[in-house]
Structure 1
Amino acid sequence: MLARFRKPAVSAGRSGDQPVSGAEANGDQGHRLRAPSALHAFNRYEIKYLVDTAEAAELREEIGQRLDPDRHSGDRGYGIWSVYYDTRQLRFYWEKIEGLKFRRKLRVRHYGDRFAVEDGTPVFVEIKQRVNRVTQKRRVRLPYRDALRLCDGRRMVEHEPAQRAFLEEVLDLVLRLDLRAVAMTGYIRHAYVGRDADVGLRVTFDHRVRGRDRDLHLGADAQNRLIVPARKTIVEVKANERVPYWLTDLTARRNLQVVRVSKYCQSVEAHGLAPRSIFHVPGHDLDLHLDHDLDHESGRPRPAALSEA
């Protein structure tokens, strides 16, 4: 599918999402940067599919024969929570909908149990941008209080020398475009990483995709709603250079169709912040009354107010 795109990837690190140890995160589950640099950056190609959860389970089993499970996924997977920043006119949202060849978005992201997020919890401040068909992501890890001071308070924070240029870019973006927190997304991820000839390949399965448009503190005891149907899973193939033939054959054999779906756009549209686009996942079968007794990220009982969390 993307075999024709053979431009070499530019990478300052590997693209996997790696939780930090409990000691590093003060007991909370965050993510370790694989690169030694204080700034983590990479380029890659990304392809998305929207599949039934039952078929996703079959795909995971088949892909698991060729790829290794992310060592942090476990049986339950892990949670990913992101707060997205945009202009009052939703500039980044519309850039995505209109399919601009160059577009970007700013977000603050946490990996793990969101109920444990505190001021000192490690999070990532990220700029993710698309240049033609290539996705580029740059990010730095900061304590949550510093991420808020930078993106909400619009003030520079203490940093390592290698982080300065990126943090100045974030601050300039926030000030120049008057960015503010607009929407939040969260989901459970199971991930697989390539080995041998497939090093650099990553396949992720995201399900129970939720969001909200208020109470946008990562650790807020707030209610979310499903923004992708409960029976659907977003499968994403991420490759530094090209997708291996065995994987393109697998997707063709299963007749998987490439989709343009953005979790951020889904959240914006689901909460009425913008009209639903032609790329919106149909919401007629959203199940807003999940009755699970346990929180999937932590395994502990969920607060009553978070029945859709």
Structure 2
Amino acid sequence: MFFRRRQPATDQLPETARPLEQSAEAGHALRAPSRLHAFNRYEIKYLVPREILDDLRDELRHRLDLDTYAAAGGYGVWSVYYDTTRLRFYWEKIEGLRFRRKLRIRHYGDLCVVDDETPVFVEIKQRVNRVTQKRRVQLPYRQARELCDHRQMIDCGGSGRGFLEEVLGLVAGLDLRPIAMTGYRREAFTGRDAEVGLRVTLDHRVVGRDRDLQLGVAAENRFIVPPRLAVLEVKANERVPYWLTDLTARHNLAVVRMSKYCQSVEAFGRAPRSASHVPVETEH
């Protein structure tokens, strides 16, 4: 397991200290019709030692609002990631390609309550230069598996069909399969007033596994980020506020280049069991 750290050199300060400008190469504008949701934003990550979490949390609460779903210590986030047997999406991230993407099925909440009708999100998350674009549609878990595992087109009853066709083309064209699952407890904060587009999250006890890759299945997980660390992620539409830049500097937090999916793959020696075993569900 390793993290790629960005040292706070002078040429990197504009990433957090000035307005973030979207590149002309950032791709076409994303539409968000009906059940299809799209996000276009910048993301910056830090690793936070446990001993400063309380102070950091108190300062965030002073400046930001607690997310509606983040009461009582936060909520669970569970994601099943799809990739090729040769881990194409993993290596695109490691090699720092200017355009790269990931496909996942994500559930918010307790894992033990997931059944066929539980709402989940099918998401394509992609990076274009420094801009993160995320598109997703909410489906019952049964339909999400039909699309991503069985490679069958589904009727979503709305205008998100184009996105579902894109997912199906990606799964079938690259022969994608479930490769890894990640899970963690998330505390989320949202900006207020002029900072309404700002979102800050603290993710604790980040775990992963490389088998039994179905939501709702109880299985053994492994820490993919040391439990003494939390992941602080700043997500902004245009700029990161100066007070937040100062906050991370005061706590001596350095920007890290990391992906929870990549951490999960690396936790299993870049040879997850799922990559060499055809899932039973996809055998037809």
Residue 20 of structure 2 is matched in structure 1 by 5
Match of 1:183 among 180, 184, 206: 180
Residue 62 of structure 2 is matched in structure 1 by 65
Residue 126 of structure 2 is matched in structure 1 by 129
Uncovered stretches (5+) of structure 1, i.e. residues with no partner: 14-35, 276-309
C-alpha contact 2:84 2:177 (8 A) present in aligned 1: yes
Residue 34 of structure 2 is matched in structure 1 by 37
Residue 143 of structure 2 is matched in structure 1 by 146
More strand by share: 2
RMSD: 1.7
Match of 2:191 among 169, 194, 200: 194
User: What percentage of aligned pairs have identical amino acids?
Assistant: 68
C-alpha contact 2:182 2:208 (8 A) present in aligned 1: yes
Count of residue pairs brought into register by the alignment: 253
More helix by share: 2
C-alpha contact 2:83 2:176 (8 A) present in aligned 1: yes
Q: Higher mean Cα deviation, 219-228 or 81-90? A: 219-228
Deviation at 1:274, TM superposition (A): 4.5
Deviation at 1:7, TM superposition (A): 3.7
C-alpha contact 2:34 2:158 (8 A) present in aligned 1: no
Which has the bigger relative contact order, CA under 8 A and spacing at least 6?
2
Give the TM-score normalised by structure 2: 0.86
Residue 52 of structure 2 is matched in structure 1 by 55
Q: How does 1:1-309 map to 2 (within 5 A)?
A: 1=16, 3-7=18-22, 37-274=34-271
Tell me, in whole angstroms, the C-alpha distance in 2 between the residues paired with 1:55 and 1:250: 12
Q: Secondary structure at the match of 1:153?
A: coil
Please give the per-residue CA displacement for 1:172-194, whole angstroms capped at 9, x wherever unaligned: 00000000000000000000000
Give the TM-score normalised by structure 1: 0.79
Deviation at 1:67, TM superposition (A): 0.3
C-alpha contact 1:12 1:37 (8 A) present in aligned 2: no
Tell me, in whole angstroms, the C-alpha distance in 1 between the residues paired with 2:132 and 2:50: 26
Please give the per-residue CA displacement for 1:9-68, whole angstroms capped at 9, x wherever unaligned: 96767xxxxxxxxxxxxxxxxxxxxxx721100100000000112212211110110100
Deviation at 1:255, TM superposition (A): 1.8
C-alpha contact 1:12 1:42 (8 A) present in aligned 2: no
Please give the per-residue CA displacement for 1:82-127, whole angstroms capped at 9, x wherever unaligned: 0000001100000000010000000000000100000000000000
